[in-house]
């Protein structure tokens, strides 16, 4: 997952580190030719020289460690430009890339004490907090269900073929494993074979499905699914819908009707991570027309660039709930920003 971005961030991390190392070198006091190997008058007066009589080079290092390191904006400008290119090439949306660069700059430019400890730690710390800032907090579905009235009704929307139906099945299996009862509403009455497809998934994971005939009004199907949940005290209703593009106004108004009739607690927008910036644009459109409370990005297992996952929360202001990481029912990862940052920068950070 996001392997290409991970490699590029590693390169950016090294580049920022060497820019700061360059600053350390230029801020070190020059070693006078005649005094090499013995303390100079100026350095000897500094309190940092240890009594173990270290070499002159060691003393210079100690001085740098003890002093404030002052990193200017100019020192980092090339490395930050490279980081910006890296992010844009990885399909990170421009405002998000700008936000990351601004935060890394704020984290690194200025005075640093104890810089001698580790330049790399300083760089990783700045990258980490910049990424965490733009990734937001995620959306803890289990906690949401725990704290809301039953049944919790969740409507899944999105364009064609992004993985809505598979995600409904995966989330059903996930919630069942957490001890919740679930019913699925077969709200895609439009595409031939869609009812059968969700029926097969529901059968495999052992979840009740409510369905009508192909061509039926999806609002009626999903209304029935909610009624079933109420009368059977089911915890969660998962409503599948047909894929549609936001440009198709008749299909979008059908979705509005579903909203009015079913009254979902959550509208979850599903798109594929591999779509990069397209996913961001579409998510914003869906949010504008029918609303979205959270986002699931599927096919993260096939996404090397990671741009959509990095960008979506910051650009549309809605949290990421899950990442889809494969075709199996288990291939669903609750979105945990800390884990994603670890994946990108390495767990040793």
Ligand X SMILES: Nc1nc2c(ncn2[C@@H]2O[C@H](COP(=O)(O)OP(=O)(O)OP(=O)(O)O)[C@@H](O)[C@H]2O)c(=O)[nH]1
User: Which residues lie near Mg ion (CB under 5 A)?
Assistant: 164-165
Q: Which is nearer to Mg ion, 86 or 165 (CB)?
A: 165
90/165 with CB nearer Mg ion:
165
Residues that bind ligand X (CB under 6 A): 160-166, 188, 191, 194, 243, 298-299, 301-302, 324-327, 331
CB of 299 vs Mg ion, minimal distance in Å: 14
State the nearest-atom distance from the C-beta of 301 to ligand X, in Å: 5
Task: Report the relative pairing of strands 110-112 and 208-210 from DSSP bridges.
Answer: unpaired
DSSP SS3 for 238: strand
22 binds, among Mg ion, ligand X, none (CB under 5 to 8 A by kind): none
| 218-231 helix and 249-262 helix, angle to the nearest 10 degrees | 20
Residue partners of 153: CB distance under 8 A and separation at least 6: 226, 229, 236, 237, 239, 262, 263, 264, 265, 266
Which C-beta is closer to Mg ion: that of 165 or that of 311? 165
Minimum distance, C-beta of residue 236 to ligand X, in the bound complex (Å): 18
Partner touching 299 among ligand X, Mg ion, none, CB below 5 to 8 Å by kind: ligand X
Which residue is at the shortest CB distance from ligand X?
243
- DSSP H helices, 141-206, are 141-146, 164-177, 194-205
Q: Do 323 and 300 touch, CB atoms closer than 8 A?
A: yes
Q: In angstroms, give the least distance from the CB of 149 to Mg ion.
A: 28
Looking only at the bridges linking them, the beta strands covering 152-157 and 236-241 are parallel
Judged by beta carbon, residue 40 or residue 165, the one nearer Mg ion is 165
From Mg ion, ligand X, none, interface partner of 59 (C-beta below 5 to 8 A by class): none
Which of residues 87 and 296 has its CB atom nearest to ligand X in the complex?
A: 296
Supply the DSSP symbol for 30: P
Residue 105 interacts, among Mg ion, ligand X, none and using kind-specific CB cut-offs from 5 to 8 Å, with none
* 329: CB partners within 8 A, 6+ apart: 169, 170, 173, 204, 205
Residue 325: CB minimum distance to Mg ion, A: 18
């Amino acid at each position: 997952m996001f392997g290409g971005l991970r490699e590029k961030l590693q390169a950016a991390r090294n580049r920022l580190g060497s820019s700061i190392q360059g600053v350390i070198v230029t801020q070190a006091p020059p070693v006078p030719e005649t005094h090499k190997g013995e303390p100079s008058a100026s350095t000897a007066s500094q309190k940092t020289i240890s009594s173990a009589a270290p070499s002159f080079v060691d003393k210079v290092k100690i001085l740098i460690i003890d002093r404030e390191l002052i990193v200017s904006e100019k020192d980092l400008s090339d490395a930050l430009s490279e980081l910006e290119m890296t992010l844009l090439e990885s399909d990170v949306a421009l405002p998000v890339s700008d936000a990351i660069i601004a935060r890394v700059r704020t984290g690194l430019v200025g005075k640093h004490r104890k810089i001698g400890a580790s330049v790399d730690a300083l760089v990783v710390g700045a990258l980490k907090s910049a990424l965490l800032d733009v990734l937001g907090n995620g959306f803890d579905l289990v906690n949401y269900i725990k704290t809301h009235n039953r049944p919790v009704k969740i409507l899944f929307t999105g364009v064609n073929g992004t993985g809505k139906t598979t995600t409904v099945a995966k989330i059903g299996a996930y919630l069942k494993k957490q001890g919740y009862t679930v019913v699925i509403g077969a709200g895609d009455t439009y595409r031939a074979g869609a009812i059968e497809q969700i029926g097969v998934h529901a059968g495999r994971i052992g979840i009740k499905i409510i369905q009508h005939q192909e061509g039926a009004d999806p609002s009626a199907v999903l209304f029935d699914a909610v009624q079933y949940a109420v009368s059977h005290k089911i915890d969660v209703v998962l409503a599948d819908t047909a894929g549609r593009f936001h440009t198709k106004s008749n299909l979008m108004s059908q979705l509005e009707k579903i909203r009015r009739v079913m009254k979902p607690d959550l509208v979850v927008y599903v798109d594929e991570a591999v779509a990069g910036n397209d996913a961001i644009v579409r998510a914003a459109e869906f949010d504008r027309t029918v609303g979205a409370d959270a986002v699931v990005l599927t096919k993260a297992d096939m996404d090397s660039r990671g741009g959509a996952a990095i960008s979506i929360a910051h650009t549309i202001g809605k949290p990421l709930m899950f990442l889809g990481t494969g075709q199996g029912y288990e291939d669903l990862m609750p979105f945990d920003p800390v884990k994603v940052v670890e994946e990108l920068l390495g767990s040793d950070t």
